[in-house]
Each structure stands twice: as structure tokens, then as C-alpha cells.
Structure 1
Amino acid sequence: MTTNGFSQISTASLNGVVKDPTGAAIPNATVTLRNLDTNVARTAVSNGDGLYAIVSILPGRYTLEASANGFGAQKIASFTLAVGQTATYDFALSVGVQNTVVTVQGAAPQLDVTSSNLGTVMATKQVNDLPLNGRNFTQLLQLTPGVVPINTGQSNGNGGGFAGPATVQGSSFTFPAINGQTNRSNFYFTDGLMNYGSLLSTYAVPPIIDAIQEFKIVSHTDDASTGSVLGGVVNVVSKSGTNSLHGALWEYIRNNAFDAQEDFTSVPAFRQNQFGVAGGGPVFFPKLYNGKNKTFFYGAYQGLRYTRQNDTGILVPTAAQLAGDESSFGSQIYNPFSTTPDPAHPGEYLRQPFQGNQIPSNLIDQRMVAWAQFVFPQAGAKNPVNGDNAIDPTPVAQTQNEWTARIDQTIGSNSSAWFRYSEIHSTTTQSGGVPGLVTSTTTPGTNWGGSFVYTFNPSLIVQVEAGHTNVQHNGETRWGKSIAGIFSQVGFSSDFAGNFNANNGGNLLPSPGISGYANGGESVQNQPKVTDSTQVSGTVTKIIGDHELHIGGGYISNSFATPIGYASLGFFAEQTGDPEDFTTSPGDPLSSFILNVPNQANRRNVNETTRPGGVLSGYVQDTWKALPKLTLNIGLRYDVTLIPAYGTNATIGENGGIETGDMDLDNGTYILQKVPPPCSVRGHAPCIPGDGTLPAHVVVDPRGKIAHNDYDNFGPRLGFAYRYDDKTVVRGGFGIVYDNWAAVSQMAQNIEGSWPDIGQLINNSLNIPSTTSATPNATAQDPFAGSTAGLFPAATPFQQVQWFYDPHIKNAYSEQWTLGVERQLSTSTTVGLNYVGSVGRRNDVGGYYNTALTPGPGDAQSRALYPYIAPTFYDRSIGSSSYHAAQFMLNRRMSNGLSYQVAYTWSKSMNVGGDGWFGVEGTVPQDPYNVAGFGSYAVSGTDLRNVLSVNTLYEIPVGKGRQFSTGNHLFDYALGNWQFNNIFTARSGQVYTPDTSTDVANTGNGFTYETLDVVGNPNKSKRTPAEWFNTAAYATPQNYTYGSAGRNSLRSNGFWNLDTSVFRQFPIHDNLTFEFRAEAFNIFNHPVFAPPDANINDATYGSVVWSNYPTGTVSTSRELQFAGRITF
């Protein structure tokens, strides 16, 4: 039986029945569990039904003994309890003298015969010994069935990025999708307390590998104590001290001399050193205090020093192109200034072509040419593989220091407590996108907490815990040369590219945003609270007969604060294409740039804050031993997300402050959460234009906040575990779980800077021909000149583009079930097979909304749902998903020098509308009014039909003290103490979508949303890196139609990789050992080509080498790492 609280996932539990030889229950039997490393003992007494339970057990090595008056004692020899394990052992005591002890060897419980949870434990030796590139524990997540290492979320593949966790540059980082859910639908604990980066839904402070005892992923659980996320709960347990002093010192070294060359790039100069120390033992102060058997400490420090000289290939404009010679472009370019209405086809437009694709010098804006010459290096020879014509040599450098400390205390015989503190500081500098533009990031973070357990009597236990997490992300992207001259020469308006509060009122040079080319601009984003959360929780466990009742709950708060400033532009093809035939002549982004005809503009000058919010949870759980072989788990959980209200009173009058609003596209209104004074009174935004009278369709929420909390998150749980025999268990379960955390923090701050503010300005439909103006009317210098009036907002809020959301948005939920069987093959080996399924409801669907109701010619906005409202980003909880999988697991714990795990998943994951949030995680529907139509109901972006992983640890059984000996001390020393370790992974290819960035359907959608038409067979008999699929099989759809290709309709080639390591230990004295490690990542240097660029408007269309994958692969070339370790 188990005690299940927030921290139960960080401990183990033990239960069983004490019986006499006839099978009758023995009441009042004493059961003693003793930790072999600390000598701390836990005692339970069986009740009238013979049932006993010991809960909140730290993972480790134990013995277990049962005794009763008139019976001989029985003892189980050394066995291991793992994190989250619920072990069951039934005693059958013989009649006899009580002090007679029968020791049972090899009887350690391996099967969980109590619950139907899906979970996999990574034990201490696996965590410490398996080859990990960058020593990041998340790489081990993919060794679990149901885990997909494909990331469609906004945290990038190396883990870092905006508001991401601090990881090692260039290391392997897994931000997984678990059992068909999104990358954001997971939660991370350390020692049962949240260690969670709430903005992007990943971990906050990375644990040091040598400080990890073990970790476990739990999903599809029948346990109501676990919830608030749809995917997996990942819990890392930190190491505790023991009665003996033990620890390690280490240094891991990598450099370019060890690495193989990428397929399309050279090996840059590279140095990486990871070093540290860890150790623990009893707290001891001579003559003052001896903590043996009761007080223990453990601490660790790790440092990183990383430098890499990059030679990244980039595409930049040539001198001839900047002079107007676009003859190398593959299709006809048109003059946007010649656009006129087509008299024969009302609502359509005509343009004149540039003869020979030569742009006359009088139409070229020399200010834009000067800007390009400032931003881009001189073009060189074109790379025949990927089209790059310049190199960005900006080096990457990273310094990281982190440490952790933990203390455990046994307080008498009835209580215990522990406390841990962890901290990290990481600083990184790298390219901002082009040579000379450098991004500098510092990421400090802390995570601390503790737990207290008190046993009132053997049937009543109380556990309370508390913790706190704080992470900052302070980033700046700056030019290394003065921008004053070019800023003035180009003529940027300070209303667009100046007066940034985060930059002390100064200017920031925008990013040019030429589609298909290298890009980069200045920005400042300093976050004192990217994650700031406090957790308090508790659990009461009561054993009544054959029922074990758990009642618990808690609250985890969350808040956010950051000043952000930047400006950017987007130049796309549409402005220089043929408006009557984008299929043949889609246009050229670079031509749009030198003509100064932008399509997109973005200005962000905000001081984002949220008021405290969080998640309040409560549950009741009954673990009922209904029959000797059958255990039922029945529970009910309730969660409510208290969505953080945007802005604080301290930000009144500031850009990005509390005086903002949100669009409600269910009824065509704009909702203000706080009304500012008239512009005539305040003199600057945020303010209400005119005399302060609110425009039509603008309302005020009397609650002073936008989002409405969702109070219907009741999640029933039901599961069973049937012990068919002593070595076989059949399990099944069903539950409803809610996504109470995913993207909530980010959604809450998405409306920052909205009308009547001007802190956030977005327009993705600039210079689109309309009845108002057929020719371009917006320039890069001040693209918002027509929508704002300097320091003041527009007259109404209805022409702004913002990351709006449905104010009545609901938490997604999933109905999940599992049915499986597990068999114990030996005392160390188990095999299991599970069917895992789920259906998701109320999933987020983002992207543009309030577009034209149907494709067609003419003014798109006049055909919109609300013609007076411009199309805008808008998130709604209307999506759905499904997942079905067969999952196989073969697991051998370390025994006789060998351990292995084999995990295989055969699955299909489908969804509607996208793979995450805000329309930027995965794809979006072509038609926002029919989110499942036009091929938008499809396999998800994280669908991998087959996933296989195998990990092994093998100690060569030769040498002194081993299974085999040569009989010669010298030979034994030479041949002994070797260990070989491997991680092999293989999986199906990743899906991708053939699309166009042009609004061919003419719905007013300013976001890439439309797929291509299928006109042939996309398969090629011979693929090349330059054309990975048959690009001629797709065409831009006919005007005013949606594409037929369908979302995620193509799949890249499969992936396989082998990482391996070899250890050699050199015993020095007693427990003092030096260990040499050699590790190889992708040892066979097997390239796995990336999903190609499938946007028909890009110059790299069809190529595997493009902006998302500069190396052309999703694998790295072979990398070697060497390490020296001293353990004691």
C-alpha cells in the first residue's frame, strides 16, 4: 500500500500481508525495513487483516524482516527499492521461537502488483554510466516506452533559447512528447517538489548527474495524487548521504580533434570541459555531534567551460542583387508599384513584370541597400549543395557553475525530514544570426525545498512539503559596431525602432527579415521572473482494514515579470509576385526588400508582469485490496488553474502594463481589463483616444482581468492490478486528466501591449492590394505610421494584430486508458506488454482567426466573420487528438555485472489543428472555421510509428573478485575492471508539410498556413541533399483555393544512432578508485538527413540544408569524449 502525495513520486512504498502456515492473518506482527547504507530502520505493525504498509521510503538498498509472538522471524536479504515503486511482499511465518530468523535469498519483489501506472525507472548506475552528451539527464527519457524525442514546442533542441533551461551548448537535450501528448504537457519534479519552468513547460534547474540517485517517468496513472498534465511526470531523486563518506571528482573533456566532420561543414575549433566534485556521509563534528544513523549530508558542484569557433554557412544578398539584377531568380518578378485593379475581374489585381527581372535603379531604395550592406557580409562563391554564399564565424562561448546540497534527518522513531538547495548560473554568447551581431544570455536559477513525515501510529501518517523555484533569463542581442550612422541613414522612425524602455529609451536596429536569407536584429529581454513559483502541499494516509485512504492537496503559485524590447520586419515573396497567378510567379523576398515593400512588422516595447496565479489541487485515493490477488485503485482528483491576471498596479501608465485588453471573437467585442484616462489627459499611451469615450464594441470586464478560470476539472481514476501468480500481474486503468500548466503562463502575458497601449504592435498583412490602396503604402522606416499616431494608439482596437486568446478558453483534457501484462523472468528481469490509448479534447488551436469565411477574390476583410476586425492570432480550445500504442519493455536490473533495458513502441498519434500553442508549435489549420478540413486532421507532428531503444551496461567478468580469473595477478589486473555501455536508438522518420508562405486563398491570413497542391508523385527514386523529395510533385494552389497536400503528409527518412562508452577502473586503495572513460556519440558517424525545406517560396525548397537545419542533418557527426574520475 502506498502513501501518495506530491512527494510520493520521489519515494517508494512497501506493503503486504503477514500470514501463518494455514494462510490465516497474523495481527500485530512487527515488520522492520532497514536501510543498509544508513542503518535507519522503519517499523510497521500488521492490522487485524494481517496487512502492513511502510510508506515514504527513500530509494535505496534494504532488508525486510517480519516477526510475531509464537512465530519464527523471516527476513528478506538485500534488495533495492526504486523511486515511485510500490513493492509487495507477503510473509508466511512458521510456528516457532521468535528469535529464530529464516533468511530468504533472491526474494526481492520486482513486480508492482498494486497499481496500473505506466512508468520506467532509470537507476543510479544507468544515470551515472550510460554515455550522455553534455551530461544532461533528459537524454535518458527517450529510453522509456511511449516517449518521442521530437520537439514542436518553443524550447529549442538544445534546451536553451528564450526562457528555456540552462543546458550545455551543442549537447543532446530531449524535450519529449509522452504517450501522444504535446511537448509542453509534462511536469518536472526533483525530490517530489516542482522543478518546473512554467513559461515553456520544461525543467527549471538541471540536476547534476552525479547528484542523481535515480529518476522515473510516470504516465497514464490510476493514482489521483498525480495530475495537472496530460503527458508524463518526470521525477528526479537526489542522492542522500550514508553512514560512510563517499563521493567522486571528475573532468570530462571534448575538443574538435576528437570529432568527425559534418556532411556539409568543416569541424570548427572546439573546447569543452565539464568538471566537478560530489560527496556525502554522516554529519560529524568531533566532540560535538555524531550524526551516524540519523543525520546525513550530500553535496555536489559542477562547472562547464565551452568555446566553439563556428563556420556556419549563411545566404546573403549579392552585390548584383542589391543593384537590381534578379535574373538569377527562377521565376518572373513583378513591380508592386504598378498594381492596378483588374477591370475584367473585380476584386483582382494586375501588375507589370520587370523585364528580364531587372529592377530599374530609380525604384531601388538606396536606404535599404545601405542597410543590407551594414547587416550582411560580402557574398562569396555559392555552395552547390545548399546555396549558401557566406560564412558566419561568430564563436559560441559558455560558462556554467551549479551546485546542490542536501541534508536528511531522522527525528526519533516516528518522524523524518530533509531539505535540499540547488543553484545554477549560466552565461552564453553566440551569433545573433549574422557576423558581428552577438547574443549574450545569462540564466541564473534556484530550486529548493524540503519534506517532513510524521507517523502518528502504524495506520496514520502525515506528510507535508514546501519548495520554491526561481529562474531568470537575461538576454541581449547587440551589434559590435555603432548603429547610430546606419539608423540615421536608413531613416528609422523612433516610433518604430526607438524609445525602448528595456534599452533605457534608446534605439535598437531591427531585423530585416528577408525570407530565405540570414537575418538578425537587436533585442533586449531581461526576466527577473521567467519562473517564480512556490509549492506547499500535504498528504494524510489512513489504513482502515483492507483499504488505504489518501487525502491530499496543495497549491503551486506562479508569476512572471520581464522588460522586453525589439523591432523586426518581414519581407516576403507575395509583394513582387503575380497577383493573378502566384502558382507560376510567387515573387521574390529580396526584391521586396530593395523595393522597400515589407509584408510584416513587429515592435515590442513592454514591461510584462502577471499577478500571482497557479494551480490548486486536491484528491482522494483508495487503494483497496479487494481480494488476495486483486487490488483496486479508485480515486478522484480536482484541479483548478488560477490563470495569472496580466499586469500589476505598479505598471499603470507603462507600455506593456496592466491597461490592456483582449479580443473576444465569439461575439466581436474587445475587452479591457483596466481603463486608462483619455489621451488628452495622460499625453501618451496607454490611453483612450479622444475624450475617453470607449469605441463601439469595446467593453470593460468588471473583474479587472481577462481570462475566466475553468472550474470543471474533475478527474476520476480507476485501476486494477491482478496477480495471476507470483510472477505474473495483469493491470489496467482509466483516468481523466487535465492540462493545468501547459502554456498558461505564456498565454497570460500574450496580450501585453495591446490597445489602448502601443507596447506590442504586429502587422502581418502590410502592402496587400485592397480597394483602399492597390499600391504599397507602408515602408520599413515606419511601418505602423498609418495605424498609430506617434505616442498614441489607433482610434479603435480592431485593426491590431496580437496574440489574443478566447477569454473563456478551457483546459485541455484527456481520457486515458491502459491494459497490460508483466512477467517476472528472474529475480532481476521482467518483461511487459501494454496497450496504451487516449483521446484528447479541448486542445489548443492557434494561428489566425477572423479571416475571410471562404476563399475568393476581393477584399478579404469584407468577407470576415466580423468585417470591422482585422484577422489576428487567436487561440481557442476546440482541438482534439487520439493516440493508440503497443508498448513493450524488457528490463534487467544490474545483476552479475549486466543490466539492460529494451523499449519498443508501435503507435499512431493524430490530432486536429496543430501540435501545441499559439499557431507556432507545429502547423495550423488551413481553414480556421473548419479545423479538421482540408487535410488538417492528420498525424501529429510528433507521430513516430516505430521507436526502439536499447541500453546496456556490462562489466567484463574477468579479474580479481570476478566470475573468471586467470590465476595470474598481472593478467587479472590487465584484463579486469573493464566496463562497456551502450545506448542504441532507432525510430521512424519525422513528418513535415509542403506549404507556401503566400495567402493564395486570399482569406487575409498573414501567417504561413496553406499547403500545396499535389500534382505528381513526391517520391524520388534517388534522393539528393539538394532535392530530398520530388519538388515537381507539388505546386502552389490555384488562386482562391486551399491546397490539397494535407498537413504532415510527408515523412523524412528514419533515424538510428549508437552511443557507446568504455570504462577502465584502476583500484588505488580500499574504496579509492581512478576510472578512465572513453565515450563516443554516434560512433559509426551515421548521418540522418533532416526534414527538408518544404516551403515552395524558399530558395532552399526541397533541400535538407536550410535555415532550420544548417548542417542538413538531425544527427551530429561522431563526437568523442574522454573523462577521468576518482571515486571514494
Structure 2
Amino acid sequence: MNSRLKGFGWSLFALVLIYGATAHLPAGAQVAGGTISGTVVDSSGRVIPGAQISIMNVDTGVSRSAATNEEGLYTAPNLLPGSYELKFSAPGFKTEVRSGIVLTVGAAAVLDLTMQVGTAIETLQVTGEVPDVQLASSDISAVVNATTVRELPLNGRSWTDLAELQPGVNAIQTQPTFAAGTDRGNRGFGQQLTISGARPQQNNYRLDGVSLNDYANGAPGSVLGGNLGVDAIQEFSVLTSNYSAEYGKTSGGVVNAITRSGTNQFHGSVYEFLRNSALDARNYFDGDKIPPFKRNQFGGAVGGPIIKNHTFFFADYEGIRQSKGISSFTTVPSAAARAGQLCSIPNGDPNNPCTPTQVTVDPSAAAYFTFYHLPNGPLIGNGDIGPFTFAGQQVVNENFLTTRVDHKFSDHDSLFGTYMFDKTPYSAPDGLNNVLFTTLTSRQLVSVEETHMFSPRFANSIRIGGNHEGVNNNESLKAINPDAARTDLGAGGTAFAGRAAAQVFMEGVTPFTGGVGGSPTYFYHWNSIQAYDAFLKVRRNR
């Protein structure tokens, strides 16, 4: 059986107009960043047009300038999540500094200011001024911040697992695990989540503003079921309901992540995690020895300036090398049964010894006994079948890479680009140790966004991206048993000459899944080209 699924998804938000409903709602949130906005007035409540605002990211040291319009409003869209310091100045007023302003992904922080009459050399400094209450949007969401992402222990280091920390988010299993073999992949490989009771395929996963849902519109992930790159994630938010239409595409929840940016200082890290079978317990089917298990998960991250105060880079690599022994328990025909000596229990009484009956074994059927090992344990029931156990090796090698470059053209123009690559080959023997099942998952994502401030009243962000998902399941089967590669075992003899060994199903015996070319092969390939444009107009209601 061959199955092919090719999808080509187009997502296009041609124009999004966001108008503030009140003076406290000057601009909407941004998918790939955050927004700081507000109103500047004097002590009598009159607006101050032309006030200059310097917005500095404390982590990167990069500043962006803004100014209030004739209505005293200012806005700074698409800012990186992090801690900010804002400096306000205007002729005839004291310089005011607000520090400790923490901006999260997708958030719209409102910072209104009342300036005091005085000279510019006089400075008033206040720390932590932004209220926790979200004034600029009505979405119900929670943020997993940078400290949680990088410091909370994660088995497998898949950052999407942290979404389960939020209320209303639960992991569910919609299909067998990746170790199960050929039936894996029809609903995607990622860890499926239900958010506020919605189906997993109703959720939307975004990285730097680009949707990275897979071909089944499910959770993204490699054949191992996770999303590496914990060190590349700055933070992410989980929006459960009532979020803005700019997120689009799905009716369930939204997992909205943003990657880390470089700073004016070089910084980096390296790590390795090792697990092996030395401390593992033996399970019932393992035999005398514990199957060998070795897992190395390693990587490194580095970031810094390319041009100080203007251009920054960040890169993260993570690799997995895993070899895991899997104990397989199967039932196979006994030596007597292969010779045609079958035993049937009279009246179904297991305590009544039976007399073997000699039957003729068809030569074409006898050729298939090569795919069934002799029992290596006590025979079962009437002695026609017995157990065969062995420890096969499940091998996975994953390579994951994320890079990001940020560039500031001017105080009014900035750009960033992100590239993600993930390739994971997997192999494991079938239950009878005849063929080596293989699965290859490959993922790539690109996101480029440019933000331009035309004036204190107008801003525009344009984002173009692409998401590629590919799965080849059992495309390159390999024969462990040389007979599995034979092409003269087609059922029916000469009528099916040249075909691979067929699948075999017998009552009480583990099914033979077919030789090389006889097992199901699946191909899933998905390309999604996405374009978004967000035009922001700042307006104050009278």
C-alpha cells in the first residue's frame, strides 16, 4: 500500500487595520514582538505633542526613538521581549526615566506619563511603572518567560512541553508512539495538546510570526515527537481564547514563540546530556541482559554583535544520537508445526493431551518459515507455537539548527530574519527481526519581517515566511534477513513472480509484515508560503 499526501497551504493577511478605541488603547499587540504605547500629558492633563521618547532594550543596548503626535500619543511596535528603559523629554519639562518595563511576546504594554514642569537637566527616575493588568487587549493568555524556558528541567528538551504549565492545557496521545513502526505519522509527530478543550488540530503554533503547524495541521515535531531548540527560544505565550484576529488560521489555542536575539555582548553556552542503560532496571521480557541504551544530547548557542548597536546574530545547534535496545516478544511456529505436525485439543480441553496430526505443507508456504525464528522459550498451549524474544536496536540521529539576525537601519526602520532546520532519521527492526523500518522527518522554516515607523501616528510591519514539512516512512527498507529482499516469494508462485514477500497473518502467530517492498510506504510533504502585513494607525477618541 502506498499513500501520498502533498499539501500546499497559503495564508495571506493582506491588510490589518488596528484602531485604538480609547486613549488607553492606542495600538494592538504584535504577533512577532510586543508594543509599548501611551499618552504624555502635563500636570493639568493637557497633551504634550512633540515629546521625545528613547526606548532602550536593556539586554541588547539597542535604542529606538519615538515622539508624541498632536494628541500626545506615542507607540513603538514590534519590540523584542525583554526589559526596557524609557526616557521622556520635552522643552520646559523635567526629563523622566521609567525603567524596569518588562515586555512579553505579543503583549501591548501601556505606559502613560504625566511630565512635571522644570528644566531638561532635572531627571525623575521611576522603576516598574507598567501595570500588570492588560489594558490594550482582551485575550486570555499566559507567558512562559525566558527563565522558565531555559532553566526548568525538561526530559528531551522540547520547549512546547512547557505549554502544559498553563491552565487549560493538557497533552493527549492521538496515535502510537514513534517506536510503534509504520503506522506512525498520519497525524503528525509532535506532542499533541488540547487547549481549553479544543481538538489538537485546532491549535496554531507560531515561531517569529510564522505558522509552523505540520501537514496534518497538528503540533510540529520530529520523529522523536518534540521540538528542540530550548536555548533559541526567548519566550512564548499560550493564548487560550479571545485573541486578536491577526493570529488567524485556527479556532483553538495559539502557542506563540519568539526566538532569541543577539546583544552588544558576545555570549554563548555548550552542554551535553548523557543517558545509558547502566542504571536501568530489567523488565520481564529483557532476558538475562538489559538491552543497551545510549543517548547523547548535546549542543551549543552563541550570539553577539555583527555591527554594534545595529546588527546582531544568534545561532543555536542541538543534536541527538540515540541507540536504544528494544525487547521484542513474538509468537512463532514450533519445529513440529513447520513439519506439518499440528495438534488440536479435543473439545478445547487444555488438560487432555492431543495427538499430532500430519498435514501436507505447501512448498510455497514452507518458504515463508524462513521469516519465523524457532522459539527460544517454552512452547505455548498445545505446542504448535512458542515465544521468540530478541533485543533490536532503535537508532535516532537528530540535527536541529536555529539562526536569527536582527538589523536596525534607523530609529524608524528595523528588520529581522529567522531560519530553522531539523532533520531526523529513525530506524528499528520489525517484531520478527526481518526488515529494518525507517522514517525520515525534515522541517524547515523561514521568517523575515520589516517594521517601519512612518510617523508617530502610522507604522507598518510586513512579514514573509515559509514552512516545509516532509516525512518519508519506510521509503528505504533494509533487509536484516537476506530472504526479506528476495523477489521470488510472491504469494501464488509463478503468478506473482518478481514480487516481494507478501504479508502473512496466522491465528496465534505474530504477523509477518512483508519483505523489502512489501510493507506500507507513506510520503507526507507540505509547503506553506505565508505573507502578513499589519498597518497600525494611532488614534485617540474625543
TM-score (norm 1): 0.41
- Contact 1:317–1:379 at 8 Å: present in 2 too? no
- Structure-2 residue corresponding to 1:409: 407
Match among 338, 343, 359 for residue 325 of structure 1? 343
The 5-angstrom pairing of residues 474-623 of structure 1 reads 474-476=472-474, 477-480=477-480, 481-483=482-484, 488=489, 490-491=491-492, 507-513=499-505, 518-519=510-511, 520-521=513-514, 522-523=518-519, 525=521, 527=523, 530-546=525-541
Q: Secondary structure at the match of 1:210?
A: helix
Partners of 2:433 and 2:488 in 1: how far apart?
18
- Structure-2 residue corresponding to 1:805: none
- Contact 1:72–1:98 at 8 Å: present in 2 too? yes
1:276 corresponds to which letter in structure 2?
G
Shift of residue 138, structure 1, vs aligned partner: 2.3
Partners of 2:217 and 2:505 in 1: how far apart?
25
- Contact 1:494–1:507 at 8 Å: present in 2 too? no
Match among 261, 276, 296 for residue 273 of structure 1? 296
1:525 corresponds to which letter in structure 2?
T
- Structure-2 residue corresponding to 1:303: 319
- Contact 2:376–2:386 at 8 Å: present in 1 too? no
Partners of 2:406 and 2:458 in 1: how far apart?
22
Match among 145, 149, 170 for residue 148 of structure 1? 170
- Structure-2 residue corresponding to 1:162: 185
Change (3 A) 1:485 1:73: closer
The 5-angstrom pairing of residues 941-952 of structure 1 reads none
Partners of 2:46 and 2:506 in 1: how far apart?
80
Change (3 A) 1:125 1:530: same
TM-score (norm 2): 0.80
Q: Secondary structure at the match of 2:109?
A: strand
Q: Secondary structure at the match of 2:395?
A: strand
Structure with bigger strand share is 2
- Structure-2 residue corresponding to 1:418: 416
- Structure-2 residue corresponding to 1:703: none
2:534 corresponds to which letter in structure 1?
T
Shift of residue 493, structure 1, vs aligned partner: 7.8
Partners of 1:305 and 1:197 in 2: how far apart?
24
- Structure-1 residue corresponding to 2:56: 34
- Contact 1:313–1:388 at 8 Å: present in 2 too? no
Change (3 A) 1:478 1:326: farther
Shift of residue 424, structure 1, vs aligned partner: 2.4
Counterpart check, 1:210 vs 2:205: no
Change (3 A) 1:154 1:259: closer
| Greater alpha carbon shift after TM alignment, 98-107 vs 248-257 | 98-107
Shift of residue 273, structure 1, vs aligned partner: 0.9
Partners of 2:349 and 2:262 in 1: how far apart?
70
Partners of 2:162 and 2:347 in 1: how far apart?
46
- Structure-2 residue corresponding to 1:130: 152
2:371 corresponds to which letter in structure 1?
F
Shift of residue 330, structure 1, vs aligned partner: 7.7
The 5-angstrom pairing of residues 897-1046 of structure 1 reads none
**Residue deviations 1:795-822 (CA, integer Å, cap 9, x gap):** xxxxxxxxxxxxxxxxxxxxxxxxxxxx
- Structure-1 residue corresponding to 2:16: none
- Contact 2:28–2:137 at 8 Å: present in 1 too? no
Counterpart check, 1:58 vs 2:80: yes
Change (3 A) 1:319 1:73: farther
- Contact 2:301–2:314 at 8 Å: present in 1 too? yes
**Residue deviations 1:453-483 (CA, integer Å, cap 9, x gap):** 1111111111111122223323323432224
Partners of 1:329 and 1:93 in 2: how far apart?
98
The 5-angstrom pairing of residues 153-552 of structure 1 reads 153=175, 161-162=184-185, 174-199=191-216, 201-203=218-220, 206-261=227-282, 267-283=290-306, 291-316=307-332, 318=334, 324-325=342-343, 327=345, 368=365, 371=368, 374-375=371-372, 378=375, 380-381=377-378, 389-476=387-474, 477-480=477-480, 481-483=482-484, 488=489, 490-491=491-492, 507-513=499-505, 518-519=510-511, 520-521=513-514, 522-523=518-519, 525=521, 527=523, 530-546=525-541
Change (3 A) 1:91 1:517: farther
- Contact 1:251–1:275 at 8 Å: present in 2 too? yes
The 5-angstrom pairing of residues 774-813 of structure 1 reads none
- Contact 2:417–2:448 at 8 Å: present in 1 too? yes
Partners of 2:94 and 2:508 in 1: how far apart?
79
- Contact 1:393–1:435 at 8 Å: present in 2 too? no
Partners of 2:400 and 2:437 in 1: how far apart?
22
Shift of residue 74, structure 1, vs aligned partner: 2.5
Shift of residue 260, structure 1, vs aligned partner: 4.2
1:325 corresponds to which letter in structure 2?
C
Partners of 1:17 and 1:97 in 2: how far apart?
21
2:301 corresponds to which letter in structure 1?
A
2:202 corresponds to which letter in structure 1?
S
Partners of 2:323 and 2:35 in 1: how far apart?
46
Shift of residue 492, structure 1, vs aligned partner: 6.2
Change (3 A) 1:258 1:75: farther
- Structure-2 residue corresponding to 1:1032: none
Change (3 A) 1:148 1:239: same
Change (3 A) 1:509 1:87: farther
- Contact 1:397–1:428 at 8 Å: present in 2 too? yes
Shift of residue 320, structure 1, vs aligned partner: 6.8
- Structure-1 residue corresponding to 2:3: none
- Structure-2 residue corresponding to 1:672: none
Q: Secondary structure at the match of 1:469?
A: strand
Partners of 1:99 and 1:132 in 2: how far apart?
50
- Contact 2:173–2:192 at 8 Å: present in 1 too? yes
Q: Secondary structure at the match of 1:466?
A: strand
- Contact 2:32–2:258 at 8 Å: present in 1 too? yes
Partners of 2:148 and 2:302 in 1: how far apart?
19
Change (3 A) 1:507 1:122: farther
Partners of 1:99 and 1:329 in 2: how far apart?
105
- Contact 2:266–2:305 at 8 Å: present in 1 too? yes
Partners of 2:88 and 2:61 in 1: how far apart?
17
Change (3 A) 1:95 1:121: same
Unaligned runs of 5+ in 2: 1-24
Q: Secondary structure at the match of 2:504?
A: coil
Q: Secondary structure at the match of 2:199?
A: coil
Q: Give the paired residue count.
A: 498
Q: Secondary structure at the match of 2:447?
A: strand
Partners of 1:516 and 1:41 in 2: how far apart?
72
2:519 corresponds to which letter in structure 1?
S
Greater RCO, CA 8 A, separation 6+: 2
Partners of 2:198 and 2:465 in 1: how far apart?
27
1:479 corresponds to which letter in structure 2?
A
Q: Secondary structure at the match of 2:245?
A: coil
Shift of residue 250, structure 1, vs aligned partner: 1.2
Q: Secondary structure at the match of 2:502?
A: coil
**Residue deviations 1:150-207 (CA, integer Å, cap 9, x gap):** 12257859999337777xxxxxx63212211222222222111122312352226744
Shift of residue 113, structure 1, vs aligned partner: 2.4
Change (3 A) 1:136 1:158: farther
Partners of 2:495 and 2:448 in 1: how far apart?
50
Partners of 1:372 and 1:328 in 2: how far apart?
27
**Residue deviations 1:490-516 (CA, integer Å, cap 9, x gap):** 436877xx8xxxxxxx63333335588
Q: Secondary structure at the match of 1:181?
A: coil
Change (3 A) 1:484 1:47: closer
